[in-house]
Each structure stands twice: as C-alpha cells, then as structure tokens.
Structure 1
C-alpha cells in the first residue's frame, strides 16, 4: 500500500473524529470555527467513553456500540437544546462568512505541508515505528481486535486476569481500532493514519479555535494560523517519532481547544464565538477526552489555565476593592491560591502518580542552554528555527497591543520553566514539578507550541499592522476611501509575511520536521522490532499455530510482533508489563521445562503452547534482557519440538507438559 491508497482510510478517520462531535456542536448552536474545532473533542470523549462503558457492562467493543451511544447522546443533546432554546445559556453569534472562509482556507496549506512531511518521513502507510513504546501500542490494538475489549480500565494488562488492573489512557487505541474495523486496515496502517490525522487535522483546528478566541474576527490572524501551527517541530512532529508517544500526540492536539474554553469561561476573549454557557457544558467533555487520551494533557492545560483564571480573579478583586470590599477580593484570591496549592501538593505526592513521577531521564546541557533551546524552538538538541522564533519573540512584544497575549506569554514562560527543569536540572525535588510528564523533556517541550502558535500569529499580525499603516501614510489615499482601504491591507500583508516566511524557510523548516518524525522509523537494524525476514517467517508459521494457542517469546528478539503481524497471541506483548508469578517463572526458566516440574506447572496454568525465538536484538544493552533468559533457543533441550526454522528464527512446540489448556 502506498500513501495514495491510504487516502480513503484517512478520510474515514477524519469522519470518525468530526461527525459525532459536529452533530452535538450544531445542536447547541455552535457554528463555523467553534463547531468544527470542538467536534473532535466531543467525538473522542464519546468513543473513549463508550469503550469504558462497554467494558463495564460486558458488551463487546464494536462499531455498532459506538454508533448507538453517539445516537443516544445526540438525541439527549437535541432534547436539552430544544428545551433551552429560549434561554441565554447558549449565547454567542456566528462569525461572518468571509472570516470563516479565510480561516478554513488557511488550513489547506497546513494540510498540504503536513501531508508532505508525513509522506516523506514515513516510507509507507504500513511502515513500523521501530520504537520502544510502539510494541505496546501495536499489541494493544491486536488485543482489542481479538478480545473486543477496549476499555482504558483494562487495556494495560492485555486481559491478564492474574495481575491487578491499572488505568491506561486508551482513546488513541479505541480510535485506531475503529479505523481497523471500518476499513479493514492492518494494525501498522491504522496506527500511522490515526496519528497523522491527529497531527495534520486536529492540531491546526485546535490552534485555530484558540486564536479565534484571542484575536476575535481578525481575518488575517485566522488565515495564517493553520500554516504557522505546523511549523513548530516540538509538536506535533516530535511525538510522531520519539517514544513513540501516539496517545500523548492525540491528547495534546486537543490542548489549544481546551485552553480556548478556559479563556472563554474567564472572559478573556474577543468577539466570543463559544459563549460561557456552552464553555461550561463543554468543560467536562474536554476533561473526559483529554483524560482518556493522556492525563498529562490535563496537567498541561491546567498549568496554562492558571494565568487566565488568576487574572480573572484578580480583576474581580480589583472591582471589589473599588466597590469598598477589599477584604472580600483579597479573600477570594487567597482561596484560589490555597486551592491551587492543595491540588498541586496532592498531585505531586499521591501514590496514584508515583510510577510516573519516578520515571528518570538523564539531564543534558545547562539551564542556559535549555532556555536557549526554547527561545529558538530547538528543544532536545534539534535545529534552531531562527525566523519562526523571531516571529514568536515579536509576538511577545505585540502583547502591548493585544493585551490578552500577556496571559499567553505567562503560560509560555511556565512551559519554558518546566522544560528547563526537565532538560537541565532534574533532581529528586524537581519531580513535583515535572513528574506529571514522566520528567521527560520531549513531553515537556510539546507544551511550548500551544502558546508559541498564538504568539507567532500575534507577531505576524503586529508586523502586518505596522507595515500596512506605514504604507497607508505614504500613499495618502483620498479621504473618502481611506478608511476602507486601510481596513483591508492588514490581512493581505499578514498573508504576504507568512508567504515570505515560507519561502525563506523552504516551507517552514521541512527537513527538521521530517527528521523528527523519521527518527522513529529509520532505526539501525539491531534496533528494529521486526525485519523483512521476521515478517516472512511469521507468514510461514501462522498456519502452524492454532488460533487459540499462546506463544511465549522474549519480546526483545522480535517474537512479540507475532501478535501484531500474524494475529497469534503472545504471552509477553511488551518489554515491561506487570506479570503474574507463573509468567515470571516462564520468563526466567522455560528452557528448563523438560526437567523442572514447577516450570511445567506454570506452563499449564498460563496455557502456553509454543516458544518463538527471534533473530533480532532490540536494545541489546537493556538490563531487562536478563529477565527473559529462560526464553532462549532451547536447541536439543528436552521438552521441545522444532516446528519451523529459518536462520535465527525458530518456532518450538512445548511437548514436556502435554497440551496446555
């Protein structure tokens, strides 16, 4: 399959992301940018929420259960909207058609440039991401396909009843599994398409809503947002290659829309397109969608929301002071600080996030270097985006004209602080600040473009206004036409500046975007999850293994990809997951099954039938290799029968224990 053949799958993905949410958006009166940008938030909440509900009530995960829930929710929203049609809870006017057309037209070059990045950095729709986390995501999709269970409450254990269940955000997996069921796409294809659509469609749409709420019906600002949104390599492109952090990518693509709701609720919007009533109703939907996509997105939005909320409470305190209620205003602000402090302390110390907080990534560079990386949009030691960064800095200066941008500047500085701590300081005591993002500089850097995009838009609009004003002064048109002529050029100048930026940067630094994505797909041979030899061997042995059989194998040698590529379940679907005592026995001692009764007992209890040995050495220096020492090639050891062999790839039937259940 090539990328041209994948276009219908991408369109189906876009339909799943937009259609369910658009229905509810229009029912509550949203139109244009607000309706389309909030639609994916609602759709993801419905899809991921349905997966959890289906798991709780014992219903199989399928297209039909999602459609039924969407229909029921849409009917309920229609009933409520009809009942409240005369209330003022749904107040906010639609944008003029030229404004909406300009905004959506500005998305087209973003789709083109983003699509080119995807095609040039991922060699084919079915290319494997040769990364550590990709194995989990691939086999989670295989598990959903086989078990028809997709709940965020159970997916982490792959249905293993012998270990305690833990929460794992499965919205990305739920969406990808729907694409597989809707189109017949294979697991790698669905994974790549869903992630690409999140980067190229969801992220620009989400940024567009934030800019719309900050700049109002500014045609120039809206026309250039889409293009500028795809220029920052820290997001979405870095998360498409590093990790690979697909669930985080999906969640962070919604973050600007979530932040737009906060600005709406706190009143820091211009020509509001949502309305406070709708924003309050949408807030729990956003929390559900981002929480089931990836919880650290909730923390990212929370950090950036502190500033508009604090400013709103501060402005109210000032009004109370002028009205003679100084102590009341001071008390409300003190209460806000106390609530924030308590919530932060709880989140920073609760055992629920202990494993996340304790994840360690070694620091690199100095704080000064890390600060410079953010200033130049060169996080994690990638190339500096000089001209785009200059535009962002201009946007910071433009806060003198667009006062609301001071709140965005404050958020930008907060993201900068978190990245500097995560990249260059990183001590045990700093985990209470960066632990919500696994102390990972890549996840922390992904926050920066949330504020950098509106700042870049502000910078371009600021420069455009200056140039247009100077041009109008020099040309001195007739007084009767002067007002109309001076109102038009700003938009054209802003578009012209972005075109110039595209030319001077060869398309907003495409090489850097492609490099960030391709790093996950172009690993050295010894770091591959599966080679062509592996895939051919899996195709040969698939029919040798019954569908109800369970295959043991060291995931570091490629055996775990059997589930993804040949639809045969494996005992160890990822490098590090929680295992039962019997699984631990098998991992360390299966090779002794012909001589140790305890190993045979574990094999029978778990139901293992085969041992698969691969010829890959993924992360050969990982200390966890030793955990799987019992899954080495048994050779002539008793208790095994060789079924197929091709070089270092071998499939053995376990004969020492009889037929496992």
Structure 2
C-alpha cells in the first residue's frame, strides 16, 4: 500500500504543483468545451447526449455528443465549474484506472499473489496514463472511458473464461492460466454425460448471456465516448477469437462471438454512421521509424520519458513469453493495438485508427493498459533469468542485496520521472510557457471579474473563441456569443463578425450586431491560436463605443452605435 501511495504521489503531485489550486484552468482546446458543457448542463438541466453539442452553436441548435462524463460531473452542485471539472477528471481518471488494472491482473494471473499490487503500481506511474492524457490533450470523455475500460474488460475476461473453461477441459486443451475466481466447477450433468459430447454443456446460451453482459457494459463505455466502446469490442474480439479457435471443432458457434463484436466496428467504419469521426483529418504525424521507436521503447506520445523505457524493459519479455502460452490473446491484443497506434502515428492510408480520430495519443492509453499487464510475465521471465545466475530469494545475503538493489533502481527510475512530469504539466497549466498559446492571461481575468457585474446579461460578447472571453461563460456566467473553440458558424455569425469594422459608420452593419443580440466586442491580440475566420473582430476601433477595460493585449468595447439612423 505504501508503494502504491508513493506511486500515486509521483503521478499526481507534479500536476497539482503546476496547477496551483483546485480551480486551475487547463490551457487546452478541449478543456474549454468541457467547461462550457458543464455550465450549460447546470444552467439548463439538459444533459442529454442527443443535445449536448448545442454548446457549439450560437443558436444553441441541439446536436449529439457523448455526455456520460458531463452528466456524472454535473451531479456536483454548489462548486465552481473549473473545480468540478478538475475534481471529476482526477477521480474518474485515476481510481478506475488503477483499481481496474489491479482487478484485471487478478483475473489474468489468479495464482500470482503479487500481480494485482504490482500492476496497480505500474498503472499509477506509467507515463501514458489517463491522468497524463488529461493534461496532455484533455480529451476527457476518452480518457475517463479508457480508465473505466480496465474494470469492464476484467469482468468480460472472467466471464468468458468461466464459460469456456469446461469446454476446454473436455476438448483436452491446457487450462487457461487466466481462470478467474468466477470459474465454476463442472456440474454433475457435465461430468456424467454418457457420450462425453460437447452438447452436454449449454455453452452457446451462456456465451450469448456473456455477450449480453459485455454489451451492457459496452453501452456505458460508449456513452462515455463511442471509440472507447469500439476499443472494448476490438479487445473482446481478440480475446474470443484467440481462445475460441482451438474449440472450433467442438463449439464452432463460439466463433460467432468475435464476429458479432466486430460487426458494429465495421458498420461505423464503412457507413455514414461514423462520418463525424471518419471524416476527421489532422493530428500529429511522425516518421515511421520514430513511430516504431515510440512503441518499442515505451516512449508513447503521451508524456514520453525514460521511465517508459524502463517499464518497456519489463513488459517486452512478458510479451514474448506469453505468445506461446495459454494467455497468448494478451500479446496478440497488444500487437493489434500497437498496429493501430502505428497507423495513427504515420497517418497510414489503411485508416486502421480512423475511429480514434487518427490520434495515437488516444490509442496510447489501451496500449499502456496491455503493457502494464505484460509486466507480470515479464518480471517472471526476468526472475527466472536472474535465478540461473544469482541466488535470488532465500536467506542469503547476496540474494537480499540483489533484491534491494533492484528496488532502489526502480525507485530512482520513478523519482527520475518527476522533472519531466513537472515540465509537461507546466506546458498546459502555467500562466506562460515558451511556444505555447494561452486562452487566459491574469490581467484579463482580473479585468473581467471586475467588470462582470456591470455587463448587461441580455447582450452577448462577440469575440474569437480562441480568446480569453470564451471562458467567461463558465468562469463568470457571462453571455458569450461563441463560447467554444470550433464553433459551427452560422450565416448570422459570419455577418456579425464581418460587421465589426464598419458598425460605427454603416447603420445596417450596426443593426446586424444588435439584431444578433451582441452588445460587446472583445478584441484579443494574443489568442490561443490564430483563426482568420475571426480576424475582422480585431479591426473595430474605439468609435464602436466605450472601452470598458484594456490590457496590454486586449480590450472590451461596449457597442454604442445607432442602428436606427
């Protein structure tokens, strides 16, 4: 327990230090969306996945977005929205990830007593964790969904092996090493079957029931983020096809399970149902040799650091050793996910990662999950190697010294990850960082806090969604016309933006602004990123009206043009 607490401290404390407080606002594109979505739910009471994406429209036109995380977080009332978001992500990214991986290790290695705490410790410190993905990119539904995937997968694996264990025994196959605590003893009806036929066990209905349970958990994961459900289906397909193929002569119908698991994946990939994801372009592209290095050395795109390579030294022997054993589905699953990661990293035309926005950062989390599990057989392989050359264990002084040295080296490796963790957290949490854009600056926060009570709540602020004004809806409850980066602009929005430079001179331009409900213009010379769609907002001058406040890089103007002349 002490080691796990220390591991969690290594992971959490650097982030907490750079945040400086529970209400820190992460400077990431997606964070703005999640802050706005939580504010919208608190304000309207509507947290439906069918309507949540209304926050991306100035007209609040309803559209779909997976809202399970936001609905859970919105249950917390009476607390500032940034604190709600930070606390919810911290809870849902850390606890399910660590506990779920420990449970998965217990399911896969029931005879290895040290497996659950060892895997939990690796889960806490592994660089490509949901917690670090939060600070790295802030795809909150993705990362919380992948954290929950660990426990769901543990249940699915346990149930599958409990159902197929008797069939494997009758088929004369080696019993799978991952027989869960749910594995039932063979019933008298099965043992006493006079012909010894496989038909004595009703495996097909049981397999259908298992698939139903997995499907229900998949629905929950899908409501978090559909591509988490997709990853769950892919892993279930690998599990069932690798373990089901040896049973094809006695239980051919078991092969229908992976087919049914992959059917929704194929539908989303090949039909318009997946257009929102499959039509996405962009993301980080790296050379093929760099992508191979990331996977092979454990330097995945989410916070690459030396500790990842140290952990890779532990899981590589596990990957090789389990390929020939009863747990071969685990390394096969690792290979499948690694290929998807490589596809995303090089933007391959095969589009194997198309349902994950072609983003290796998202796929890094399930790859890290499987890598953490492979540490167990990896440690066993290293122990066998060391026993042949060194007297590990026992009362010998030399054996105890070797173990002590290994523990010290592991501790130093974990502590050595603290400086890069601090630097990575600083990139997106500090007030300033070289080469990184910022939505918010301290001076504009103070200015908005001072002026907020004086603003007309019925008139909105028109500003680039990449400026600090976009956050004022979630921070101070102000009426912001475009509160989300990536807003789908309407014709009225474009007309209002185009009217800003001329509203002080042309009546109809002024009328365009007032009819859109816009009462204020916020101009920002240092936005998070430049978008030419909003450049006209910066061209309006003081003749528009009174300057309510001005900083070194921005100003807020109250529109006082006359639309009736």
Please indicate, yes or no, whether the TM-score normalized by the shorter chain is above 0.5. yes
1:465 to 1:494, Cα distance in 2 relative to 1, 3 A:
farther
Of 139, 150, 153, the match for 2:36: 139
CA contact (8 A) 2:130 2:144 kept: no
Q: CA deviation at 1:121?
A: 4.2
Of 574, 580, 586, the match for 2:490: 580
CA contact (8 A) 1:537 1:649 kept: no
Match of 2:179 in 1: 270
1:597 to 1:216, Cα distance in 2 relative to 1, 3 A:
farther
Match of 2:350 in 1: 430
1:256 to 1:165, Cα distance in 2 relative to 1, 3 A:
same
| 1:568-619 C-alpha deviation (Å, 9 max, x unpaired) | 1201012212233222221332343355565455445532222223353221
Q: Distance in 1 between matches of 2:96 and 2:25?
A: 23
Match of 1:554 in 2: 464
Q: Distance in 1 between matches of 2:326 and 2:406?
A: 23
Match of 1:649 in 2: 554
Q: CA RMSD in A?
A: 3.5
CA contact (8 A) 2:548 2:558 kept: yes
Q: Distance in 1 between matches of 2:116 and 2:258?
A: 35
Q: Distance in 1 between matches of 2:109 and 2:487?
A: 46
Q: CA deviation at 1:634?
A: 2.4
Match of 1:375 in 2: 296
1:223 to 1:468, Cα distance in 2 relative to 1, 3 A:
farther
Q: Distance in 2 between matches of 1:545 and 1:370?
A: 51
1:170 paired to 2:76: no
Q: CA deviation at 1:245?
A: 1.7
| 1:270-305 C-alpha deviation (Å, 9 max, x unpaired) | 232598899667534422331122111112222222
CA contact (8 A) 1:422 1:439 kept: yes
1:107 to 1:308, Cα distance in 2 relative to 1, 3 A:
same
CA contact (8 A) 1:264 1:274 kept: yes
1:193 to 1:386, Cα distance in 2 relative to 1, 3 A:
same
CA contact (8 A) 2:461 2:521 kept: yes
Moved more, 542-551 or 460-469: 460-469
Q: Distance in 1 between matches of 2:64 and 2:404?
A: 48
Match of 2:428 in 1: 520
Structure 2 matches for 1:283-298, cutoff 5 A? 283-298=214-229
1:389 paired to 2:309: no
1:610 paired to 2:520: yes
Q: CA deviation at 1:234?
A: 1.7
Of 91, 104, 109, the match for 1:197: 91
CA contact (8 A) 2:243 2:329 kept: no
Q: TM-score normalised to the size of structure 1?
A: 0.70
Match of 1:635 in 2: 541
Match of 1:85 in 2: none
1:592 paired to 2:502: yes
Q: Distance in 1 between matches of 2:54 and 2:24?
A: 26
CA contact (8 A) 1:589 1:599 kept: yes
CA contact (8 A) 1:239 1:248 kept: no
Match of 1:399 in 2: 322
Q: Distance in 1 between matches of 2:454 and 2:407?
A: 58
CA contact (8 A) 2:299 2:309 kept: no
Q: Distance in 1 between matches of 2:321 and 2:406?
A: 17
Q: Distance in 1 between matches of 2:125 and 2:64?
A: 34
Match of 2:449 in 1: 539
| 1:43-91 C-alpha deviation (Å, 9 max, x unpaired) | xxxxxxxxxxxxxxxxxxxxxxxxxxxxxxxxxxxxxxxxxxxxxxxxx
Q: CA deviation at 1:519?
A: 2.8
For the residue of structure 2 that corresponds to 1:611, the secondary structure is: strand
Q: TM-score normalised to the size of structure 2?
A: 0.81
CA contact (8 A) 1:213 1:271 kept: yes
Q: Distance in 1 between matches of 2:446 and 2:364?
A: 39
Q: Distance in 2 between matches of 1:209 and 1:169?
A: 27
Of 407, 418, 443, the match for 2:340: 418
For the residue of structure 2 that corresponds to 1:257, the secondary structure is: helix
CA contact (8 A) 1:609 1:653 kept: yes
Q: Distance in 1 between matches of 2:260 and 2:267?
A: 11
Q: Distance in 1 between matches of 2:542 and 2:2?
A: 67
CA contact (8 A) 2:52 2:65 kept: yes
Of 343, 350, 360, the match for 1:441: 360
1:395 to 1:494, Cα distance in 2 relative to 1, 3 A:
farther
Q: CA deviation at 1:641?
A: 3.8
Structure 2 matches for 1:348-359, cutoff 5 A? 348-359=269-280
Of 248, 254, 257, the match for 2:151: 257
Q: Distance in 2 between matches of 1:312 and 1:601?
A: 69
Q: Distance in 1 between matches of 2:440 and 2:395?
A: 68
For the residue of structure 2 that corresponds to 1:653, the secondary structure is: strand
Q: Distance in 1 between matches of 2:492 and 2:402?
A: 65
CA contact (8 A) 1:156 1:168 kept: yes
| 1:245-280 C-alpha deviation (Å, 9 max, x unpaired) | 222111111111122222123216423259889966
| 1:522-548 C-alpha deviation (Å, 9 max, x unpaired) | 453771111110111101110111334
Unpaired segments ≥5 residues, structure 1: 1-103, 321-328, 478-489
Structure 2 matches for 1:323-334, cutoff 5 A? 329=252, 333=255
For the residue of structure 2 that corresponds to 1:613, the secondary structure is: strand
Match of 2:169 in 1: none
Q: Distance in 2 between matches of 1:473 and 1:594?
A: 83
CA contact (8 A) 1:241 1:518 kept: no
Q: Distance in 1 between matches of 2:62 and 2:240?
A: 36
1:214 to 1:632, Cα distance in 2 relative to 1, 3 A:
same
CA contact (8 A) 1:231 1:508 kept: no
Q: Distance in 1 between matches of 2:119 and 2:216?
A: 25
1:394 to 1:159, Cα distance in 2 relative to 1, 3 A:
closer
CA contact (8 A) 1:250 1:293 kept: yes
For the residue of structure 1 that corresponds to 2:82, the secondary structure is: helix
